[in-house]
A and B are shown apart, each in its own frame.
Chain A
């Protein structure tokens, strides 16, 4: 299984809602990532987890809360989002953080905040 899966594919939420994005991989990878991608822009790193510990937080607002319950799962909890947070949220994984590990990307969750 060389796939990263993400659910849901699409999500529409209001600014007062609480929702979660889920990411799963069964490749035995120990590093997992969240990226945000706005239309016609490149992905921007949000968070990196290594061995289930948060390794990088790219100064992301606290309304985004990541969680890594085990080595196969990565969640992104959303609360009190703004319309400008509407974007494609991509999850990725890699064997570790050491070079030269390519990152495998999931298909993304397209989020719309009303």
Chain B
């Protein structure tokens, strides 16, 4: 079966650092995406990992360990506008070809407080 887990909610303080974890068990794996989604808006792409290790992009970094089925998104210097849902998604090409099928995790609602 397909299972992607994230904490449901997190709270952090403006200016701080927060780490959002994602664990996955999927039939296929061809990369992991992180998306940000503000309430009532479309998900927007944050990062992509296909190899183990850390990818850094400004205030956002994402880490992947394929052997552990684990990823995290690290947000530094938190701003109020970072309050949003953060979605972890695994790309599954199970059907033996490129399908770019994304299986989304449950999402983490982050609240940044002053």
Contact = CB atoms under 8 A, between A and B. Distances in A.
A108 B93 CA distance: 25
Contacts of A97: 97-100
B41 A107 contact: yes
A45 to B, nearest CB: 6
A105, A107, A108: residue with the most chain B Cβ atoms closer than 10 Å = A105
Contact of B42 (A40, A99, A105): A105
SS class, residues of chain B in contact with chain A = loop
A93 B18 CA distance: 30
Contacts of B95: 56
A105 B37 CA distance: 10
B42 A108 contact: yes
Contact of A107 (B35, B42, B45, B106): B42
B48 A102 contact: yes
Given A55-B99, A99-B50, A99-B98, A42 B104 contact: yes
A108 B42 CA distance: 7
Contacts, number: 65
Interface residues of A, number: 26
Interface size class of B (residues with CB under 8 A): 20 to 34
A55 B97 CA distance: 11
B99 A98 contact: no
B107 A42 contact: yes
B87 interface: yes
B44 A99 contact: no
B48 A100 contact: yes
Interface in B17-42: 30-31, 33, 35, 41-42
B101 A42 contact: no
13 contacts: A42-B89, A43-B87, A48-B100, A56-B95, A56-B99, A97-B97, A98-B98, A99-B50, A99-B91, A99-B93, A100-B50, A103-B100, A107-B42
Interface of B: 30-31, 33, 35, 41-45, 48, 50, 87, 89, 91, 93, 95, 97-107
Closest 4 CB pairs of A and B: A42-B104, A105-B42, A97-B98, A97-B100
